[in-house]
Chain A
């Protein structure tokens, strides 16, 4: 069974940092591109970042470029999102998601972790 389990969310002051983790199981993690997608409750999801299967290619949405860094550890089957200089508008539920086949379509999602950037 494919499972993606996020952790690392929480309350942080604006300007602060958090690192999210997503532990994958039930599939060969190193074969897949992976993504982070965030969603403010009641609003549409928003794609924010992706990483290719070996970690050599990363892409970011304009809204997070230069502040967030996606990475992965294929030995630990774990995806990461380092979030720096957090802003109130970064407050959302953050999901990791598996790319179906490199086309920004996601066939499995984690349950999400809530990040709140507030003073």
Chain B
């Protein structure tokens, strides 16, 4: 399947840990990218290659994968982490797909 699914919304108390997931058959082969997007801004890559962070991304962001599910974890969530988070991957035909996104609310 080329579909990638994400939970529509999650919330976390300030300073607590939150995990969001991305599921799809292509994730068994292709490690996803995770992007943070705030209103009116471009997406920002926060995790790739399962658990690599681009330069400038805080280490409270981490990733993991198991089977057809990949996860993004924020440890010690801050107010500025409130955003939409998208994962993207590919299916076996090479079709690039994005998940529907998870809206993170920091309480």
Contacts and interface: CB of A to CB of B under 8 A. Distances in A.
B63 interface: no
Contacts, number: 44
Interface residues of A, number: 17
Interface of A: 44-47, 61, 95, 100, 103-112
Interface string B50-90: 00001000000000000000000000000000000010101
Most chain A beta-carbon contacts within 10 A, residue among B35, B44, B98, B101: B98
Interface residues on B, range: 10 to 19
Contact of B45 (A61, A100, A103, A110): A100
A95 B48 contact: no
Contact of B43 (A45, A46, A100, A103): A45
Nearest to A96: B42
B100 interface: yes
Contacts of B96: 47, 61, 104
A110 B48 CA distance: 19
A25 B88 CA distance: 26
Most chain A beta-carbon contacts within 10 A, residue among B42, B54, B100, B101: B42
Contact of A44 (B41, B42, B98): B98
A44 B101 contact: yes
A107 B54 contact: yes
A61 B101 CA distance: 20
Contacts of A110: 42
28 contacts: A44-B86, A44-B98, A44-B99, A44-B100, A45-B43, A45-B88, A45-B98, A46-B98, A47-B88, A47-B96, A47-B98, A95-B43, A100-B33, A100-B45, A104-B33, A104-B88, A105-B45, A105-B48, A105-B49, A105-B88, A107-B45, A107-B48, A107-B54, A108-B45, A109-B42, A109-B43, A111-B42, A112-B42
